């Protein structure tokens, strides 16, 4: 094996491990979040559960299981194809960007002393957050999740993962954000409508 092939293999392994680390980080905050859900629901003044919420909740164990597989399976030692290295690079970029946006969202809510976002409930003390990550997009946490899923699918070059990300995760989160925003609109009224006019749902607006 020549030096170039060895170098490519090392870079590929590093990139794939970056994707795994990104998935592990999200898994960690998922487990913490799940532990907090029940007491937070008890204090909520508005809550909503339906088909969309159930489908969204299903994504959590699927993601945790996939992360476990990524962790126990060693990254490929050599590029399987000419696309392996660029796919891993793009996947790592998307995955790390997804974690970065999500952590930014968590940091924004912690600074505002709102430990969890509204989700499918609005807490008694919940305030409308429009700054930080929420001044970038209205749903930065969900944007981060989508980017992470796409990163894992692209880096692994898995048609099945890409199908799950594009055919399940993205549509369900889109429907979930719409349902959540209808609830927030009924709670915060004109202030939320003005916020929606200025900030995009999942993609930042150029102006």
pLDDT the model gives residue 117: 43
Question: Taking 50 as the threshold, does the pLDDT of residue 73 lie above it?
Answer: yes
What is the SS3 assignment for 47?
A: strand
Question: Taking 80 as the threshold, does the pLDDT of residue 191 lie above it?
Answer: yes
Question: Which residues, 6 or more positions from 2, have their beta carbon under 8 angstroms from its beta carbon?
Answer: none
Read off the DSSP letter of residue 74. P
- Taking CA atoms, 157 is separated from 12, 87, 126, 182, in Å, by 13, 7, 41, 36
Question: Taking 90 as the threshold, does the pLDDT of residue 15 lie above it?
Answer: yes
Question: Taking 60 as the threshold, does the pLDDT of residue 162 lie above it?
Answer: yes
Domains (ranges, CATH) in the chain? 3-198 (1.20.120.1630)
pLDDT the model gives residue 118: 42
pLDDT the model gives residue 199: 94
Task: Compute the mean pLDDT over every residue in the chain, rounded to the nearest whole number.
Answer: 82
Least confident of 31-35, 166-170, 178-182: 31-35
Contact 95, 19 (CB under 8 A): yes
**What is the pTM for the complete model shown?**
0.85
């Amino acid at each position: 094996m020549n030096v170039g092939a060895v170098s490519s293999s090392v870079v590929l392994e590093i990139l794939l491990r970056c994707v795994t680390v990104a998935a592990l980080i999200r898994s960690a905050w998922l487990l913490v979040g799940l532990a907090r859900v029940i007491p937070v629901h008890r204090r909520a003044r508005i809550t909503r559960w339906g088909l969309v919420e159930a489908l969204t909740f299903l994504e959590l164990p699927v993601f945790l299981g996939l992360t476990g597989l990524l962790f126990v399976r060693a990254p490929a030692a050599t590029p399987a194809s000419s696309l392996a290295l660029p796919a891993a690079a793009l996947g790592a970029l998307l995955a790390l960007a997804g974690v970065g946006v999500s952590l930014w969202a968590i940091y924004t809510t912690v600074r505002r002393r709102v430990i969890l976002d509204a989700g499918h409930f609005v807490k008694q003390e919940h305030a409308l957050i429009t700054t930080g990550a929420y001044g970038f997009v209205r749903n930065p946490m969900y944007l981060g999740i989508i980017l992470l899923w796409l990163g894992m699918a692209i880096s692994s070059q898995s048609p099945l993962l890409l199908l799950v990300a594009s055919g399940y995760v993205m549509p369900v989160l889109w429907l979930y954000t719409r349902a959540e925003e209808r609830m927030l609109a009924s709670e915060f009224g004109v202030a939320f409508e003005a916020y929606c006019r200025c900030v995009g749902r999942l993609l930042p607006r150029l102006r």
